[in-house]
């Protein structure tokens, strides 16, 4: 989506969870100006958790400041990491994701599937997860939560480690 400035709203991130009466879904709002996502808000209604992030500012969860902490590097970090994963909608991407999950299963301490990309990214910002991997997400799945994560000191990339904003994947 090329518009700038741009407001983006995802009324239900985690729609499958919502339809299955699983409370792990969120309402997400993001604002982009001058080519950068400036504000991100992710609200997990059933928990009453409100994640906010401002570019160049801070990230919060219910008014408590969030900071991502690095506790190791390389293999040490992976062996201690709990990683969020979600399954993409298309079968081709699911086959690719199965390869990623297989690799992570052999390296990470644990894997968790959330069903809501925005909430999984916010879980990284809050320190509940050490990373998150998925494929085939849409802008509205990622943009608001990316502001929260980056304001908390985290990074978000595409599959090659480059900026996700200028990537097709």
First to last CA, the chain: 14
The string over 107-133, giving b where at least 16 C-beta atoms fall within 10 Å of a residue's C-beta and e elsewhere, is ebeeeeebbbbbbbbbbbbbeebbbbb
Cα separation, 72 vs 126, in Å, equals: 17
* DSSP run (H or E) holding 112: strand 110-113
φ and ψ of 51, to 5 deg: -95, 135
Q: What is the pLDDT of residue 168?
A: 59
pLDDT on residue 166: 56
34-53 in b/e burial notation, b at 16+ Cβ within 10 A?
Answer: eeebbbbbbbbeeeeebbbb
pTM for the complete prediction? 0.93
Query: Which whole number is the average pLDDT over 140-168?
Result: 86
* pLDDT tens, position by position, 88-121: 989 999 999 999 999 999 999 999 999 999 999 9
């Amino acid at each position: 989506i090329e518009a700038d400035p741009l407001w983006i709203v995802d009324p239900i991130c985690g729609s499958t969870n919502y339809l299955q009466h699983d409370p792990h879904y969120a309402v997400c709002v993001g604002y982009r100006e001058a080519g950068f996502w400036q504000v991100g808000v992710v609200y997990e209604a059933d928990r009453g958790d409100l994640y906010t992030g401002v570019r160049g500012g801070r990230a919060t969860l219910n008014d408590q400041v969030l900071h991502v902490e690095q506790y190791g590097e390389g293999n040490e970090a992976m062996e201690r990491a709990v990683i969020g994963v979600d399954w993409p909608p298309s079968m081709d991407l699911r086959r690719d994701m199965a390869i990623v999950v297989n690799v992570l299963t052999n390296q990470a301490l644990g894997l968790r599937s959330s069903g809501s990309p925005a909430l999984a990214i916010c879980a990284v910002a809050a320190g509940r997860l050490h990373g998150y991997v998925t494929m085939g997400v849409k802008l509205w799945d990622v943009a608001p939560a990316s502001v929260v994560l980056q304001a908390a000191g985290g990074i978000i990339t595409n599959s090659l480690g480059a900026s996700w904003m200028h990537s097709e994947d």
